[in-house]
């Protein structure tokens, strides 16, 4: 039976529970606060979520694989201080390369421990988080690092605009599309989805699940490094503890996006929806003038409701 265009759209929306939640939340805030719905604010939110957006895209791969990466917060700190600390000494591009290498290396270590040694990812990445945070503090001796001059092109990454649109948001969107393509169209994406679903079955079909899991962590590490570039270029400085507790926001975003914590399913675009929800909440609450503790309680309720709705919509899809 041919559904009319409108019905199709409605049907799609109904199935995508979390997108519904995003729209509802946005509308609620927009009605409540005129400043919230200004174009300026929309652009601000996009700029503010750039770092988490990039990191959540990478984390999606890890979670699809059935693991957690708790080290991304500290990795963000380390890569940020490397970027800024080395910028004046060896130049912006080498500094960014060093940061990216650090992200890849850390991801590789975590990936090896989880993928090859089959250690528990939560505890391992907790350990890595401690080690990396200690490194960031050691390297800077506890002090913040900052650029001599913040008018360099490096800072334009975080501060600048293209046609009124923040460059960091553009980079985030391009990165997300890249990750989504990898997940949905490339062989690796297929591999990680299968491995997360059933690692043993994959082994029988010839997929090296150890390699696949290792790569998922490398992607997460890379994302933290890119996020660090976006973050540190905004202010031209880096505190060695800047990334503390980022990992929970990142993982929350991925979960809001509907990725199953048991592994085997996930969608980068939906993760981005989760990122937007978090960003809107943080921004919206300040616009509304809510005290911070109300934000936490609201975040609690919204998370539960959003995930429940998404769960229900998935069930319906399954039944139909």
Nearest-angstrom CA–CA distance, 106 and 111: 8
From the list 223, 163, 169, 179, the residue with the least C-alpha distance to 49 is: 169
Helix (H, G, I), strand (E, B) or coil at 166: strand
Among 194, 223, 252, 271, binds other proteins (CB under 8 A): 252
Q: Does 134 bind other proteins (CB under 8 A)?
A: yes
Q: Compare residues 47 and 182 and give the one whose CB is closer to other proteins.
A: 47
Q: Compare residues 191 and 239 and give the one whose CB is closer to other proteins.
A: 239
Q: Does 142 bind other proteins (CB under 8 A)?
A: yes
Q: How many residues bind other proteins (CB under 8 A)?
A: 69
Q: Does 141 bind other proteins (CB under 8 A)?
A: yes
From the list 232, 274, 224, 275, the residue with the least C-alpha distance to 110 is: 224
Nearest-angstrom CA–CA distance, 319 and 176: 31
Q: Does 120 bind other proteins (CB under 8 A)?
A: yes
| C-alpha distance from residue 185 to each of 98, 178, 191 (Å) | 29, 10, 11
Contacts of 38 (CB under 8 A, 6+ apart): none
Name the CA radius of gyration of the chain, rounded: 20
CB of 104 to other proteins, least distance (A): 19
Q: Does 245 bind other proteins (CB under 8 A)?
A: yes
Q: Does 129 bind other proteins (CB under 8 A)?
A: yes
Structure-block tokens of residue 319: 């039944």
Which residues contribute to the site for other proteins (CB under 8 A)? Answer: 33, 35, 38, 40-41, 44, 48, 70, 113, 117-120, 122-124, 126-135, 137-138, 141-144, 146, 159, 231, 234-235, 237, 239-242, 244-245, 248, 251-252, 255, 260-261, 282-283, 286-287, 289, 292-297, 299-301, 303-304, 307-308, 311
């Amino acid at each position: 039976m041919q559904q009319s265009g409108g019905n199709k759209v409605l049907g799609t929306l109904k199935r995508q529970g979390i997108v519904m939640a995003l729209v509802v939340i946005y509308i609620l805030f927009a009605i409540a606060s005129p400043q919230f719905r200004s174009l300026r604010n929309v652009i601000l939110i996009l700029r503010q979520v750039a770092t988490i957006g990039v990191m959540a895209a990478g984390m999606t791969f890890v979670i699809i694989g059935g693991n957690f990466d708790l080290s991304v917060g500290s990795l963000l700190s380390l890569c940020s201080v490397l970027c800024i600390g080395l910028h004046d000494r060896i130049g912006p591009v080498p500094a960014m390369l060093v940061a990216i290498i650090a992200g890849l290396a850390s991801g590789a270590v975590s990936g090896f421990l989880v993928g090859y040694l089959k250690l528990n990812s939560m505890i391992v990445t907790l350990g890595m988080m401690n080690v990396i945070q200690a490194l960031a503090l050691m390297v800077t001796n506890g002090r913040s690092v900052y650029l001599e001059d913040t008018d360099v092109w490096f800072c334009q990454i975080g501060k600048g605009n293209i046609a009124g649109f923040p460059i960091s948001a553009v980079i985030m969107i391009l990165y997300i599309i890249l990750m989504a393509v990898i997940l949905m169209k490339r062989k690796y994406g297929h591999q990680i989805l299968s491995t997360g679903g059933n690692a043993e079955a994959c082994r029988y079909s010839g997929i090296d699940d150890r390699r696949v899991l290792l790569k998922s962590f490398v992607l997460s590490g890379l994302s933290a490094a890119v996020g660090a570039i976006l973050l540190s270029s905004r202010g031209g400085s880096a505190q060695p503890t800047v990334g503390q507790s980022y990992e929970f926001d990142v993982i929350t975003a991925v979960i809001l996006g509907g990725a199953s914590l048991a592994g085997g399913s996930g969608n980068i675009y939906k993760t981005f929806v989760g990122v937007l929800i978090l960003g809107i909440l943080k921004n919206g609450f300040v616009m509304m003038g809510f005290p911070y503790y109300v934000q936490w309680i609201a975040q609690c309720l919204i998370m539960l409701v959003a995930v429940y709705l998404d769960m229900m919509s998935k069930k319906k899809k399954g039944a139909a």
